[in-house]
């Protein structure tokens, strides 16, 4: 159905925008509803800045001061899936971009409108220019984060987006977002719900960490930290056999891990386990709506051993390739870019399609526990997958090289103990999500009741 809006010329002039997208009916409705409320500009309740504009990616390290990027904002909280750090001396000159506890963050370039709150105390924290940093003054930060994440906040954020090649929001436009003025009691109510969500989110991370520790302990690898050797000798026959000549592939640490898994647990290469079926997914660049489509699962949707469903894309069911459809219990791993992120597909995405940047492993649950397998790939297995990947500009892993990975099959009761912890992690994460949605509904009801 075609939608249209009739706009007065005076409104065009005041907005300084002529593009039709700016005047979508949804945005105009939001403007009308908020116009009937007592509101304040975002700049009136916050000090607004953004992250560092200098290019310092070549200075990233595994330790130092945590440096946030737009991709680190997730579900109100900070994602620890792929953290990066910068040296202390660089941090010292980025005072304008310091981030503190209770600051609200908004992604303003690329994937726009992700909201996070700094719920925990960081000794030092900063980020890049893809993030707007809101230092709250006259509003509860938990309430503000919830409003910006709800329907009325997101509509305003999306409306401010501009640009052709790379879309984004400038701070001047972000400052003009309208925020409802709510009583302390209402703000406190929303804050209480969000804080409970944070507690569940923290529990989810704790359970997952416990599962990782248990797995490494059972494999005898908890304190096993082989270092990178500066030099080593490789026989020509080994080079020919592997059909690889890059030094990283022959790092002794990989061989030590494999030897331990094979010797202590009789681990076998995946290609030797005939009950595991390995395949890749389906490429698609045509998407549809959630109501009309089936989930399209990409590498960016994987986190903490499961699938994040907030930003899923959807494809036309008529275009799905039957053999690429998802089934609950399938284990997928990323094969492009960041190699080795794994997830067990939950019931909610069953019948969807796996994207071509994933490799899927399917096997009988009674033979092998899918929670256990996914966790193995997210720990020791990811290192072995990185070793097997190829490519200089962008690393890639194909299904044949994945089959070279050795997979330890622990006793079923041990697999179950690991799986129980992972399952508790996912349940706590689901509860956190439900509480977040509840908080957003409370803010939306407040707005709709007052308008």
* Domain extents in the chain: 9-181, 220-409
Q: Are 9-181 and 220-409 in the same CATH fold? A: yes
CA-CA distance, 375 to 353, in Å (whole number)? 22
pLDDT-derived band at 403, boundaries 50, 70, 90: very high
163 φ, ψ (degrees, to nearest 5): 115, 155
Question: What average pLDDT does this structure show over 416-423?
Answer: 97
Comparison of pLDDT for 142 and 338, the residue scoring more: 142
Instruction: Give the predicted TM-score (pTM) of the model.
Output: 0.83
Virtual torsion, Cα 402, 403, 405, 408, nearest 10 deg? 130
CA-CA distance, 414 to 417, in Å (whole number)? 5
pLDDT value, residue 237: 56
pLDDT value, residue 251: 66
pLDDT value, residue 164: 65
CA-CA distance, 126 to 110, in Å (whole number)? 19
| 3-class DSSP assignment, residue 100 | coil
| pLDDT tens digit sequence for 340-392 | 899 999 999 999 999 999 999 999 999 999 999 999 999 999 888 887 777 65
Kindly report the average pLDDT of the chain as a whole number: 88
Instruction: Inform me whether the pLDDT recorded for 232 exceeds 70.
Output: no
pLDDT value, residue 384: 87
| pLDDT tens digit sequence for 191-229 | 999 999 999 999 999 999 999 999 999 999 887 665 655
Please report how many Cα atoms fall inside a 13 Å half-sphere around the Cα of residue 180, on the Cβ side. Answer: 31
Mean pLDDT lowest among 67-81, 150-164, 432-446? 67-81
Question: What average pLDDT does this structure show over 151-160?
Answer: 94
Task: Please state, for a pLDDT cut of 90, what percent of the chain lies above it.
Answer: 68
pLDDT-derived band at 252, boundaries 50, 70, 90: low
| 3-class DSSP assignment, residue 410 | coil
Instruction: Inform me whether the pLDDT recorded for 58 exceeds 90.
Output: no
Of 362, 373, 430, give the one whose Cα is nearest residue 207. 430
Q: Which CATH number fits domain 220-409: 2.60.40.10, 3.40.50.200, 3.90.220.20, 3.40.190.10?
A: 3.90.220.20
pLDDT-derived band at 82, boundaries 50, 70, 90: confident
Cα distances (Å, whole numbers) of residue 170 to 17, 153, 219:
14, 16, 50
- H or E stretch at 238: helix 236-242
Instruction: Inform me whether the pLDDT recorded for 320 exceeds 60.
Output: yes
DSSP class of residue 359 equals: E
| pLDDT tens digit sequence for 380-398 | 998 888 877 776 556 788 8
431 φ, ψ (degrees, to nearest 5): -65, -40
pLDDT value, residue 1: 46
Homologous superfamily of domain range 9-181 = DNA methylase specificity domains (3.90.220.20)
pLDDT value, residue 13: 41
| 3-class DSSP assignment, residue 53 | coil
Of 185, 95, 186, 100, give the one whose Cα is nearest residue 137. 100
Instruction: Inform me whether the pLDDT recorded for 91 exceeds 50.
Output: yes
């Amino acid at each position: 159905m075609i939608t249209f809006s009739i706009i007065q010329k005076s409104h065009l002039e005041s907005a300084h925008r002529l593009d039709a997208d700016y005047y979508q009916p949804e945005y105009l409705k939001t403007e009308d509803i908020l116009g009937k409320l007592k509101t304040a500009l975002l700049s009136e309740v916050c000090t607004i800045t953004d992250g560092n504009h200098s290019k310092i990616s070549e200075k990233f390290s595994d330790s130092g001061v945590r440096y946030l990027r737009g991709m680190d904002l997730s579900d109100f909280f900070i994602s620890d899936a792929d953290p990066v750090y910068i040296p202390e001396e660089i941090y010292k000159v980025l005072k304008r971009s310091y981030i503190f506890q209770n600051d609200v963050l908004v992604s303003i370039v690329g994937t726009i409108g992700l909201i996070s709150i700094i719920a925990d105390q960081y000794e030092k924290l900063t980020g890049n220019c893809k993030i707007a940093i809101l230092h709250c003054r006259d509003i509860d930060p938990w309430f503000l984060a919830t409003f910006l994440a709800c329907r009325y906040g997101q509509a305003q954020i999306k409306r401010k987006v501009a640009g052709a090649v790379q879309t984004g929001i400038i701070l001047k436009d972000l400052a003009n977002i309208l925020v409802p003025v709510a009583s302390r009691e209402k703000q406190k109510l929303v804050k209480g719900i969000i804080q409970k969500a944070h507690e569940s989110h923290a529990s989810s991370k704790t359970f997952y960490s416990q599962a990782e520790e248990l797995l490494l302990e059972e494999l005898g690898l908890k304190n096993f930290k082989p270092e990178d050797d500066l030099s080593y000798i490789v026989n020509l026959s080994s080079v020919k056999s592997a059909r690889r000549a890059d030094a990283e592939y022959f790092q002794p640490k990989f061989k030590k891990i494999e030897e331990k898994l094979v010797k202590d647990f009789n681990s076998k290469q995946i290609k030797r386990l005939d009950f595991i079926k390995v395949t890749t997914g389906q490429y698609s660049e045509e998407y549809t709506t959630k109501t009309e489509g089936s989930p399209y699962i990409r590498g960016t949707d994987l986190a903490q051993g499961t699938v994040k469903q907030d930003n899923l894309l959807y494809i036309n069911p008529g275009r799905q390739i039957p053999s690429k459809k998802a089934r609950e219990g399938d284990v997928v791993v990323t094969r492009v870019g960041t190699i080795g992120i794994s997830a067990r597909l939950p019931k909610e995405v069953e019948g969807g399609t796996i994207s071509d940047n994933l490799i899927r492993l399917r096997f009988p649950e009674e033979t092998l526990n899918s929670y256990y397998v996914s966790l193995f790939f997210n720990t020791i297995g990811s290192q072995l997958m990185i070793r097997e990947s190829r490519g200089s500009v962008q690393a890639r892993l194909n299904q044949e090289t994945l089959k070279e990975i050795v997979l330890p099959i622990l006793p079923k009761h041990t697999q179950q103990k690991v799986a129980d912890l992972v399952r508790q992690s996912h349940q706590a994460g689901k509860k956190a999500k439900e509480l977040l949605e509840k908080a957003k509904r409370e803010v939306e009801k407040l707005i709709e009741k007052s308008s």
